[in-house]
Amino acid sequence: MSSARKYRSSEKWVAYGFMMPAAILVAVLMYWPMFDTFRESLFSTSFINPKPTYVGLKTYRANIADPAFWSVLTNSIVWTAGVVLLQNVGGFLIALLLNQRLPAQGLLRSLILLPWVLPGVVAAILWRFMYDPQLGLINSFMLRLGITDQGVGWLAHPGTAMAAVIFVAFWKGFPFSTVIFLAALQNVDQEQIEAATVDGAGPVRRLFDVIIPAIWPVAAVNVLLTTILTFNYFDIIYVLTRGGPLNSTAIFPTRIYEVGFGQFKFGDAAAYGSISVLVLIMLVALMMLFRPRTAGGERHG
């Protein structure tokens, strides 16, 4: 009995030994920068006075009292919710289509990946030309169809800028969700689908009663991943609008860049970074708390 306990103890220490390099790497590359960011947020700096001055939580109170902070928070939530919803719904529908027997199926699956493999900056520059009021392809089509009699400044008006950047992020990111959903659909038990067909279930009934419950754990993980990635996304909004017009598309990453590297207020930027981490943690926690339950009472995912 004693030898068995010693063997289990040695196995445990061997496992810890294998885990230690990865744990150290995560601590150095992730947790230490997070701690250092919080530490820097307790100091104030400026372009004129670059020497850090300890101010404690004063920067946080000042940011929370600033109306621009609440605008950034609202924009970040709207941006994240819009992109995640479109990417997951659109990705799932396209995955359903690509899961059928189609001519040139391999070519179609390859072409669908093109937006995803484009660098974010390149995609944003491409769509900036597409949205151009005078030369843009979108306005050209609208003018020819008689939808409008003059070019629309999609990125120049606060009422349309957020919707425009959300659509670009959807176009850029939906292949990611499509690939994940397609892999999940190909693992659905075909016998269950055939049994539902024999029982008289139509395509819609099979979709909601068989296919969606079968892929739901994968869908939950995909929603979680796209939420984290979208909340921290920087390239598209910065290239398209730089957070404008009138801060209507300013989100945490663009605000952090503007305050830190535009105004040289590194303490304020660090405070925004720390708050953004807390907001993202709360969003993920809410998703985990309110995710739907299975028929057996267990939560999906």
Run of H or E residues at 44: strand 43-44
User: What's the whole-number mean pLDDT along residues 239-254?
Assistant: 92
Inside any domain, residue 296: no
Judged against a pLDDT cut of 90, whether residue 196 lies above it is answered with no
* DSSP secondary structure letter of residue 54: E
Collapsing DSSP to helix, strand or coil, 236 comes out as helix
Inside any domain, residue 11: no
Inside any domain, residue 25: no
The model carries a pTM of 0.86
* DSSP secondary structure letter of residue 43: E
Run of H or E residues at 289: helix 266-289
| Cα–Cα distance for residue pair 221/226, rounded to 1 Å | 9
Domains identified in the chain, total number = 1
Domain interval for residue 254: 31-289
How confident is the model over 55-107, as pLDDT tens digits? 889 989 998 899 999 999 999 999 999 999 999 999 999 999 888 887 877 78
| Cα–Cα distance for residue pair 250/71, rounded to 1 Å | 8
DSSP codes of every residue in 128-166:
HHHT-TTT-HHHHHHHHHTS-SS---TTTSHHHHHHHHH
Rounded (10°) angle between helices 266-289 and 32-41: 130
Inside any domain, residue 26: no
| Cα–Cα distance for residue pair 104/100, rounded to 1 Å | 11
Band of pLDDT at residue 297, cut at 50, 70 and 90: very low
pLDDT of residue 296: 42
In degrees and rounded to multiples of 5, residue 53 shows phi and psi of -120, 125
How confident is the model over 112-139, as pLDDT tens digits? 888 898 898 999 999 999 999 888 889 8
> What CATH number is associated with residue 40?
1.10.3720.10
| Cα–Cα distance for residue pair 230/167, rounded to 1 Å | 13
**Residues 274, 63 contacting (CB under 8 angstroms):** no
Inside any domain, residue 2: no
Residue type, 218: V
How many alpha carbons fall within 13 Å on the CB side of residue 247? Answer: 12
pLDDT of residue 209: 86
Band of pLDDT at residue 2, cut at 50, 70 and 90: low
Band of pLDDT at residue 172, cut at 50, 70 and 90: very high
User: What's the whole-number mean pLDDT along residues 199-206?
Assistant: 83
Q: Specify the higher pLDDT residue, 225 or 147.
A: 225
Inside any domain, residue 4: no
Q: Which two tokens stand for residue 220?
A: 């939950």
Q: Report the candidate in 225, 250, 222, 220 with the shortest Cα–Cα distance to residue 238.
A: 250
Q: Specify the higher pLDDT residue, 102 or 244.
A: 244
Band of pLDDT at residue 284, cut at 50, 70 and 90: confident
Inside any domain, residue 49: yes
| Cα–Cα distance for residue pair 243/189, rounded to 1 Å | 46
User: What's the whole-number mean pLDDT along residues 45-50?
Assistant: 72
pLDDT of residue 6: 63
pLDDT of residue 1: 47
pLDDT of residue 5: 67
Going by C-beta distance under 8 Å and a sequence separation of 6 or more, which residues neighbour residue 152? 133, 138, 139, 142, 160
Band of pLDDT at residue 7, cut at 50, 70 and 90: low
Inside any domain, residue 5: no
- Report the mean per-residue pLDDT for the chain: 86
In degrees and rounded to multiples of 5, residue 299 shows phi and psi of -80, 145
